[in-house]
Structure formats: structure tokens, C-alpha cells
Amino acid sequence: MRRRFRAPGRVNLIGDHTDYVGGLVLPIAVDLGVEVEVEPAERIALSSEGATVEVAADGAGEVDGWGRYPAAVAAELAALGRRPVGMDGEVTSDLPAGAGLGSSAALEVAVAVALCALADFALGPLELASACRRAEHRAVGVPCGVLDQAASLLGRAGAALLLDCTTLEYRYVPLPSELAVVVVDSGERALAETGYAERQQELAAGMPSRVRHVETENRRVRDAVAALERGDTTKLGDIFRESHESLGEDYEVSTPELDRLVDRAYAAGAVAARMTGGGFGGSIVVLAARNDAAPLAQELGGRIVRASDGAREITPRRTDSRPGRA
């Protein structure tokens, strides 16, 4: 029998370029994601839009393109002791790739939950997130933090995830029901890999503006949580604006297009807006009053997303009616 697993993408509300130095992040999982529908097999063979990748059940083998992600996940899980059970099936996605919504993490997590389920291999969500983070490094060499993978695994409907990337302690922060989240894709697909690693090296070398961004961003995550809990939308607007400026001026990961979109969002009546994720392109995140969200999304060419539950099996349960039996 084929089983289906789904892992969502994420939008980080605030706390960017903090995860890989043990800072605070506040993402939501979104109602867009990656699905794998598979049955157990000897090897791993996955197809997506007609292209099939195949590796051994422990990830060994030569792959390129998107196949590097499932191969790397299988290798990381094998290193943790997963039995080499393979799987055969399809990967589908309604999460745009390259929009900065965590599509590679969603793929990693969907594959990981499927591989664990088929081998009856149980790992806690944060162990699994860390394995997927290592898989990202292994697959494409991007030294990312755990933000995207943790959000995809731990997301919760109606809430943001406040995660401390040092202790991996987390709690949920309910989103005020009068606010909607809108994401707007800048359409820019800058090659973030080089700039991303470079920023980390500059931070590690103690470059003052980089350090200042991280310190002030961690403070802004705490302040944003307090403002969300008080329902203080004016304060949220200020905090998001400061975060965007800090990412642009101190961390230098924004782009003129992201800046323009953020300005347009505020001009169109957004409560709060900032670039989100790694930058160098990708998307902005906007908080808007529920009634303003649809016109605002339309004006900016964005879409409303909902805070959603994390990765899980979605195989339909068998019904009780068993054909052929009286």
C-alpha cells in the first residue's frame, strides 16, 4: 500500500540570520508544501514531473539536481541507525521553489518522515530537523541553520513557533485572529549560497555591523512576541521595519526589489512588513488586518498563507467497508 507524507514550507515572521549563531527565530509553517507518496522498496526511487532519481536505501549513489536532497537525507538517517528500507514513488509540491519559503527543507523533511515511517524508525522532531539540516549541508553545501527544517516539523495551525536555536527549546505564540499573513515573492532568484556563507564568515570574524544585526534581531524577536501577545500592531509595525532595515543596512542581504516591496506594503496599509528568510531575493512577509489582506495581496501580487501544522503522514485511513466481504 502506498503511504502519503506532507511537509510544509515556512515563512519566518522575524529572526533572520540568527539561527546559525544560536539565536531566536519565529517562523510559521504554511499551507503550501511538498508531498511524497511511496511504497516500501529495496532502493529509493522517486519521480517528480517525469524525472526519476534513484539511490541505495542508505543514500549511497551518484545523483544531481533535486535528487541530492533525498540522497543526503537517507545518508544522514543511515548514520543515525535507520534500517536501509527503500521507497518507490512520487514527489509533488505546491510550494514554489526558490521563493525563499523553505522548499528544500520541505523536501528534506517530507522524505525524512517517509523514510522513518517505512523503517519504523522514531526520532524526535528536533533530532529529525537537525538531521535534515545536516542533509542540506551535505547535499548542496549551504551552511544553513535549523530554522526551515524545525518550522516544517514543528509548525502549528494558528500559531508561530518561537525557537531558541542554542537550547532548541521552543514554545508556540498564537497569532491574533485579526491578523493575516501575506507573502510576496520578489521573483529574484539570486544565487544566495555564496553570499549566505560569506555573511557567516564575516560574522564569525566579528565584523561589527554583522554582530549588531544579530544582537538587535534577537531583541526584536522577543519584542515581537510580546507585541503579538499584547495585540500591539503599531509596535509590530515598528519592529518589522527595524528588522528589515537591519537586514539591509547592517547585514546587507536585502535587495532594492525587496526594499521596494516592503515600502509598497506599508503604503498599502500593512500592519508590518519585512524581507524574510536568507535574502538576496526571495519573499517579503506582511502582516495585515484580516479585512485588508485580500486587496493588499492582490495589489502586491502576493498570497495569503495560513499558519499550519507541521509534517505528518496524510495517508487516507482505510474505511470500514471492505469490498468483497459480507
Residue placing its CB nearer to ligand GLA in the complex, 68 or 82: 68
Q: Which stretches of 155-255 are DSSP H helices?
A: 192-204, 208-230, 233-245
The torsion region of residue 136 among left (phi > 0), alpha (psi -120 to 50) and beta comes to: alpha
Burial 184-203 (b: 16+ CB within 10 A, else e): bbbebebebeeebeebbeeb
Catalytic position from the list 148, 185, 223, 250: 148
Residue placing its CB nearer to ligand GLA in the complex, 37 or 108: 108
- We find the least distance from the C-beta atom of residue 11 to ligand GLA, in angstroms, to be 10
Name the amino acid, one letter, at 233: T
Distance CA 160, CA 174 (A): 6
Residue placing its CB nearer to ligand GLA in the complex, 30 or 119: 30
Query: Nearest-CB residue to ligand GLA?
Result: 278
Q: Name the site residues for ligand GLA (rule: CB under 6 A).
A: 12, 16-17, 19-20, 144-145, 147-148, 277-278
- We find the least distance from the C-beta atom of residue 27 to ligand GLA, in angstroms, to be 9
- We find the least distance from the C-beta atom of residue 243 to ligand GLA, in angstroms, to be 11
- We find the least distance from the C-beta atom of residue 169 to ligand GLA, in angstroms, to be 18
- We find the least distance from the C-beta atom of residue 193 to ligand GLA, in angstroms, to be 10
Residue placing its CB nearer to ligand GLA in the complex, 150 or 173: 150
Distance CA 35, CA 111 (A): 9
Sole residue written with cell 518550522: 151
Q: Is residue 292 among the annotated active site residues?
A: no
- We find the least distance from the C-beta atom of residue 148 to ligand GLA, in angstroms, to be 5
Distance CA 219, CA 303 (A): 29
Phi, psi of 34 (to 5 degrees): -115, 135
Residue placing its CB nearer to ligand GLA in the complex, 83 or 137: 137
Structure-block grid coordinates of residue 33: 508544501
Residue placing its CB nearer to ligand GLA in the complex, 79 or 140: 140
Distance CA 185, CA 303 (A): 9
Contact 271, 289 (CB under 8 A): yes
Residue 313, classified by CB atoms within 10 Å of its CB into exposed (0-12), middle (13-18) or buried (19+), is exposed
Catalytic residue ranges: 148
